[in-house]
Every structure is written in structure tokens, then in C-alpha cells.
Structure 1
Amino acid sequence: MSVPVLTEAGALLARYDVLISDVWGVVHDGVWALQPACDALTRFREAGGAVVLLSNAPGPSQQVAGVLDKKRVPRQAWDRLVTSGDVTKALIAGSHHHKVFHIGWHDDRSIFEGADIVLVGEEEADLVVATELNDYRTETPEQYRPQLARFAARGVPFICGNPDLVVHVGEDLLPCAGALAAIYEELGGQVAWAGKPHRPAYDLALEAARAARGGRTVDPAKVLVIGDAVRTDLAGARMMGFDSLFIAGGIHREETMSGGVVNPAGLAKVLAGLPIQPKAAMGALG
């Protein structure tokens, strides 16, 4: 049976108590807020629902909240925000490693604040933390392969602070830290994934949802995951036993959209083989 394509999400959203929504590609496009999506989330909250934004952004949630403000994502559209940066901080704390080699932007180093670590060079490191490529606009993941091979040969564990492989920034499709982690696993290295679709991220999201609901229990059958990535959002929903809404106009838009509307054949191809299909699809949340 084909996945229904919606033009308006209100009736579907009303069946749930909690929305766990992706951010990049759903709530904003990497440049500005997607206003219809923000309006839909705001209406859901006004009707008594709770919205948790779950992002694979590598910064801690307080930093990413400031970024959302700058992109004009209204605070009334969400209750709580959980990021890969939050998960990364927890993984670092539990790793018992202290000499860290960081791959990523300097601004991402806020995840190390308060941690019992020191940033060191390649030869001294006993842990690698990758939040992004150092410059994802000019570099490719393959350029890192020789360095990653040296770390893997030494058995250095690797924390991936953003499991996404790529992300849209406006019209550009740019690589993320997940592409580095995929190479590291290919080389035989050990990777801890700090974000979707892995359980630690969803455990934090459920904790945030309970807090947003005043401590009330969250029924998994009343949780809807909204996302644009089959590999992360839909896989995470399936792993947790949550329903999902697929946003076709995000990361898969070259395959699923034609002339600004969902192409049913392209959509079916992208979703083919999934053991559990999303409840519905939309070009964009609204």
C-alpha cells in the first residue's frame, strides 16, 4: 500500500501527544525558518501537545537554540531541544578518556566546556571527537582517510558528534561528520554515534518530552517522529516503535520532488524496502 501524501498535517498531528521533530530540513532550510512548519508546530502546542526538537547538530542545545533564534524559528514552536552535542557531552563524560583530538569547527568546542579533557595533537590523542569537517564547504570526507587510518591502526575510539552524512545548506548539499565516521568504521575503527538514529538521542528526547508534559508518562503509541532522512529520522522512529511523518522536500528532495510537489514514483523508490512505512509523507510540513 502506498504512503499517503498530505498537503496539510493538522489532522494527523492531532492524533498524537508528542512530536519529535527534526530541525534542519523540516523547521529551517539551513538559512531561514520554514514558516509553515513553525506554524504547524505552534498550533500543535496550542492544542496541548508537546514538541521536542531533536537535531544532529553538534553543538549543545543552549548554543543551537541561539542559532534557531537567528534563523527566526519562534520559541513558541517548540518546548524542548535535544542535540547531538548534548549526547556527545554525555559520551565524553562516560568514556574515561582525557586526551582528545577534535575534528570540526572551533565554535563546536563548546561541547568540551566543563569536561575533564585536554585537546591534543594526533600523536597524543586517546579519543577522537568529530563534530564536523574542519571546513565542509571546501573539504571532502575522503581527504581525511589517511589520518583516520592512522587513528584506526592505533585503536583510538571515535565519537561522531553528528551522524548525518550530508546536509542541505540552502541549495548546497554538504558533508557532515557522519561521513567521517562511516570511513572510520570501514577502516575497522570503533565509533560511538552521538545522535539519530541511535537510542541515546531518543532517550534524551523522551526525557525532555516528559519534562515538557509536567512529568507525565509518554505513551510510545502517541509519539510521532517528523523528519526528512530515511537513514536517521525514519530509522530512529522504527527502532523506538514510534510512528513517523516523512518530509520529502528535505534531504531526499532530488529523488522525491518534481516541480515543487511530491513525485509518487520517486517517493515509493526512496521508501522501498522499509519494514515499517511512515504514516504519511509531505513535501514540507505545514
Structure 2
Amino acid sequence: MLSRCSMLPSSSDVQSLQGLSGIRHLAESRRFKAWFLDQFGVLHDGKQPYPGAISTLEKLASNGAKMVIISNSSRRASTTMEKMKHLGFDPSLFVGTITSGELTYQYLKRRDDAWFAALGTSCIHMTWSDRGAISLEGLGLKVVENVVEAEFILAHGTEALGQASGSVRPMKLEDLEQILEQCAAKRIPMVVANPDFVTVEARALRIMPGTLASQYEKLGGEVKWMGKPGKIIYEAAMKMADADASDSIAVGDSLHHDIKGANAVGIQSAFITCGIHASELGLDSFAEVADISRVVALASKYSSCPSYVLPAFTW
């Protein structure tokens, strides 16, 4: 099923559900079997749940919805669910979690995909420091700092460079970009385990690995994007929920990742305006109603088309 606005959207293509009962309307009128939910910018801001998010999940579950968290987080699925639990969310409400980090880990471990099988094992590892480094345990990789020794780049974060000892060396973004220039000259591929460009963190925007990956492509480098807007994560979610495209809806705050990805696999989508695009839409407070003409213009900019527009993930 193709999105009804597969080209550029117009105001007539998008249904604006700007009251705070938008999710309830969708649940009761459309009765989607599977709900694929982004976390940052929809359910929480990285520090605390958004108002009404937990009760909305509970009501969706009681309405028979199968909910799957699909996230461009570079963390494993189990780590993501533990964080959700720590933030006050009940893991039993979800069928499961699929993250870019989990997909990356599984593809690197199995090596049953021809592209991954050809990667080699020596990698430059770009990771986190303040947010906590990503473990590569069980993957049989050799982390190197010298580009000459590297066979590929593994991008989990934007704060540090992994070391052979397992520790990390904090680095500025511009320093990581200089390493990318060296890697591009050697023409080695990159696997990006978090395709997001930015994320919401306590109402501020933080640079994410997708920014590095985009820069690497501009340098002529080859990038394997492991997550939204690629089809791979949506197809995995549909399999997990035992649902097809016509039964599913994706809810997210990123037009480039969440909505464009849903468009690519032909599923309906709900764009939450209080997330990463809030400033671009001129919004100053949570659940503030966006001007639909501005939403349509912004969606056109990102070549995406949401089926529905809501101010927040609230019942």
C-alpha cells in the first residue's frame, strides 16, 4: 500500500488532529492492530516521560493495540527497555523493542548478509563518553585508532573514540570529522548504528551519529544506515507484531526518519509536533498546536508526508 501522498503533501493530504484526544480518535476510529512508537520526542525527552504518555500507552493496550518501540538508539533493545522501565514505563505494555543498535549488533554478529560479511573485523569505533560507551562484546571486532589499520567505521556515538583496551577517548565533533576525512581518503565503509541527525534531550537538541554519517557521504564515503528511515526496521517491527502494512501505524516526531520511513514501507503515520521540529514550527511549549500550513511546508522540505498531525502523544 502506497502512502496517499507519495509525492509532496498538501493540506488536504494531512489530517490534523490537534486536540489532545488525537490518539484516542485514531485508536477508536481506525483501530490499527500495530503501533510502532518512536521513544525520544514522543514518549519521553530522555529525562522524563511526557505528560500523559504512560496513561496513553495503558489505554492503547486496553484497546487491543500491539505496540512496538522502534528507535534509532544505538543501544541494544534490552538496554532501551531497561531505560524505559527506569523512566516509569511498564515493559509489559509492549510486544517488544527494535533499535538500530540491536539490528547493527545482530548483522555484525551473524555476518549472513553479503555486505556485512565483506567488512572485515578491524574498526574505528565512534561512541559515547558522557552518555556511556557502547559495548562490542561478542562481536569479535578489533578496535583500532589508526586509520591505516581500519577496515570499516562503526558509528554508535558522537562523543568519543573507542580504544583497543575497551576504554574511550573523549573527542570533539570536529576531531571525529577529521578522522572521517582520513577514512574517506582510504575509502573504507561506515556502519551507522544511529541514523538520527539530532535528538531531543530535556527540550534541547543533541547531535547524533547520523550527522557524522551524512558528512561521511558528502566526503564520498559509503554508509550503511541501520534504522529509520530505512525499510529494515519497519519490516522487523511488522514481523514482531505479526501485522502487515495496512494494519500498522508509525508514530514519531522526525519527518526525515519516522514519517519518511513509514512512507517508504506504505504504512500510515502520525507526526508528533512537540519533538525535534518544535522550533522549526514556531512552538514554545509542550502540546502547543502547530499551524497546519507550516507543518505541510516543513514536510515538503523533508520530502515526507504524515497521515495525521498531533501536538503530543496523549489520549
Task: Name the TM-score, length of structure 2 as normaliser.
Answer: 0.82
The answer to whether the aligner puts 1:153 opposite 2:169 as a matched pair is no
Deviates more, 1:112-121 or 1:101-110: 101-110
Query: Could you tell me how far apart the structure 2 residues matched to 1:276 and 1:182 are?
Result: 18
SS in 2 for 1:200: helix
Name 2:96's counterpart in structure 1: 80
Name 2:298's counterpart in structure 1: 270
Name 1:134's counterpart in structure 2: 159
The answer to whether the aligner puts 1:169 opposite 2:201 as a matched pair is yes
AA in 2 matched with 1:62: S
Check the 8 A contact 1:91/1:194 in 2, yes or no.
no
Query: Percent identity among equivalent residues?
Result: 25
SS in 2 for 1:225: strand
List per-residue Cα deviations over 1:252-271 (Å, max 9, x = no partner): 01122535322314323212
Check the 8 A contact 2:71/2:98 in 1, yes or no.
yes
Query: Could you tell me how far apart the structure 2 residues matched to 1:21 and 1:108 are?
Result: 25
- Cα 1:246/1:35, change in 2 over 3 Å: same
- Cα 1:276/1:104, change in 2 over 3 Å: closer
Pairing partner for 2:84 from 68, 72, 77: 68
Pairing partner for 1:13 from 21, 27, 37: 27
Deviates more, 1:143-152 or 1:228-237: 143-152
Per-residue deviation at 1:13? Answer: 2.5
Query: Could you tell me how far apart the structure 2 residues matched to 1:139 and 1:197 are?
Result: 28
Query: Could you tell me how far apart the structure 2 residues matched to 1:60 and 1:160 are?
Result: 14
Structure 2: any 5+ residue segments left out of the alignment?
Answer: 1-11, 161-169
Name 1:118's counterpart in structure 2: 142
The answer to whether the aligner puts 1:246 opposite 2:271 as a matched pair is yes
Query: Could you tell me how far apart the structure 1 residues matched to 2:97 and 2:174 are?
Result: 32
- More helix per residue: 1
Query: Could you tell me how far apart the structure 1 residues matched to 2:302 and 2:221 are?
Result: 28
The answer to whether the aligner puts 1:279 opposite 2:307 as a matched pair is yes
Query: Could you tell me how far apart the structure 2 residues matched to 1:38 and 1:240 are?
Result: 28
Name 2:123's counterpart in structure 1: 100
Query: Could you tell me how far apart the structure 1 residues matched to 2:308 and 2:193 are?
Result: 29
Check the 8 A contact 1:152/1:189 in 2, yes or no.
yes
Name 1:215's counterpart in structure 2: none
List per-residue Cα deviations over 1:222-277 (Å, max 9, x = no partner): 10000000000001100010000000000001122535322314323212367663
Name 1:178's counterpart in structure 2: 210
Query: Could you tell me how far apart the structure 1 residues matched to 2:200 and 2:303 are?
Result: 27
SS in 1 for 2:83: helix
Query: Could you tell me how far apart the structure 1 residues matched to 2:284 and 2:207 are?
Result: 26
Name 2:231's counterpart in structure 1: 199
List per-residue Cα deviations over 1:22-45 (Å, max 9, x = no partner): 010001111111241222222111
Structure 1: any 5+ residue segments left out of the alignment?
Answer: 211-217
List per-residue Cα deviations over 1:97-117 (Å, max 9, x = no partner): 21122101264433x221121
Give the paired residue count.
277
Name 2:44's counterpart in structure 1: 28
AA in 2 matched with 1:109: I
- Cα 1:140/1:108, change in 2 over 3 Å: closer
Name 1:230's counterpart in structure 2: 255
Query: Could you tell me how far apart the structure 1 residues matched to 2:176 and 2:284 are?
Result: 37
SS in 2 for 1:24: coil
Query: Could you tell me how far apart the structure 2 residues matched to 1:10 and 1:102 are?
Result: 43
Query: Could you tell me how far apart the structure 2 residues matched to 1:59 and 1:114 are?
Result: 15
Deviates more, 1:195-204 or 1:47-56: 195-204
RMSD of aligned residue pairs (Cα, Å): 2.1
SS in 1 for 2:185: helix
Query: Could you tell me how far apart the structure 2 residues matched to 1:237 and 1:113 are?
Result: 32
SS in 2 for 1:91: helix
Deviates more, 1:54-63 or 1:199-208: 199-208
